[in-house]
Amino acid sequence: MRLAHHIGGRAGEAQSAPLFAFGPEARLAAYRIFHADAFEWLAQAAPCSVHAVVTDPPYGLVEYSAKEQEKMKNSRGGVWRIPPAFDGCKRRPLPRFTVLKEEDRENLRVFFRRLAERLMPVLVPGAHVFIATNPLVSYLAYEPFIAAGLEKRGEVIRVVHTLRGGDRPKNAHGEFPQVTVMPKSCWEPWGLFRKPCEGRVQDNLRKWRTGGLRRISPDEPFKDLIYSSPARGRERRLAPHPSLKPQAFVRQIVRAALPLGEGVILDPFMGSGSTVAAARACGLESIGLEASAEYFQMAKKAIPALARLKVKESGGDGKPIPRNSGDG
């Protein structure tokens, strides 16, 4: 098993043991990241050792293969669509899930079945799993998760306006100016699942500290609609990963994932470390796994910097979310 281990402390320095603290006195929590294959790591993880999962997995396995990554970096396309410039702005490459073949789709089903089966024994009862997906392929992840015994608890809709979709027919823009091939994408679904509780939710909360979602405030519940801009500017310069999620969004997810602010959040496909950084910023302990040596090194540098970013969070109404003094 390929494994490189890095522990981050309050200032991003290595420490001898993982720490956990929550509240205003511990704004930046400790974290552990591993250069490791997620399936191998999960196979060796202790049972009932993870309290929540927040992740954006490599859909199709196709787009993050060495071949397709090289095409993306060289602007040669492949499964990555290289959009044309728009009003002088160069758009980032996007995975073209419409080009997946039946073999690719079956590989996806197998991938998520293996993932769900490896996660189940590692999760504590009542642990929630937030998994980023796409409207075109979400069913390929959801069905295996349900079959493995995870309860589907809904979806969190990230309202995000990008330049994805809405294009006219390729090489026939002038002939069919009134036609769009697919709707312009304005949302991103995050599947929400839960390992069954032991007894009632209140009993599970007392024993395992899981089973529900943390409220925004005593008067406002966590909502399944979150407005979120794409990661831009300094944030993207700190972590130039093609699928980077913004801290303003991910911090809301990780905070909700641990209802009492206790436990460990796992991101088995951490990329450049946005989930780990968000947990660190919120005072929550986390573990990140990444198989790519390039992205693992990127995460080591990016996590402390992303965690220190000051961001504004918007809720379902698009307005800033007020925070209690005890929140990170």
DSSP 101-145: -HHHHHHHHHHHHHHHHHHHHHEEEEEEEEEE--TTTHHHHHHHH
> What's the token pair of residue 261?
């602010």
Residues 6+ apart with CB under 8 A from 1: 36, 37, 40, 41, 44
The pLDDT of residue 122: 98
Find the mean pLDDT for residues 305-312: 92
**3-state secondary structure at position 242:** coil
Q: Is residue 313 part of a domain?
A: no
User: 64 is in which domain, residue-wise?
Assistant: 20-308
Look at the chain and report how many structural domains it folds into.
1
Whole-number mean pLDDT of the chain? Answer: 83
Rg (CA), the chain: 20
Q: Is residue 319 part of a domain?
A: no
Q: Is residue 325 part of a domain?
A: no
Q: Is residue 173 part of a domain?
A: yes
Task: List, for residues 19-78, the tens digit of each pLDDT value.
Answer: 333 333 345 789 999 999 999 999 999 999 999 999 999 875 555 455 655 655 555 555
For residues 321 and 315, the answer to whether their CB atoms sit within 8 Å is yes
Determine the Cα angle at 56 with ends 298 and 115, to 5°: 110
The pLDDT of residue 210: 98
Which residue carries 């390992």 as its tokens?
A: 195
Q: Is residue 315 part of a domain?
A: no
The pLDDT of residue 25: 32
**The model's pTM:** 0.82
Q: Is residue 6 part of a domain?
A: no
For residue 237, report the phi and psi dihedrals to the nearest 5 degrees.
-70, -35
Q: Is residue 238 part of a domain?
A: yes
**Among 309, 307, 299, 306, which residue's Cα sits nearest to residue 271?**
299
- Tell me which range, 59-68, 236-245, 273-282, is most confidently predicted by mean pLDDT: 273-282
Q: What is the CATH number of the domain that holds 62?
A: 3.40.50.150
Q: Is residue 254 part of a domain?
A: yes
Q: What share of the chain is helix, strand, coil (3-state, %, to 5)?
A: 30, 20, 50
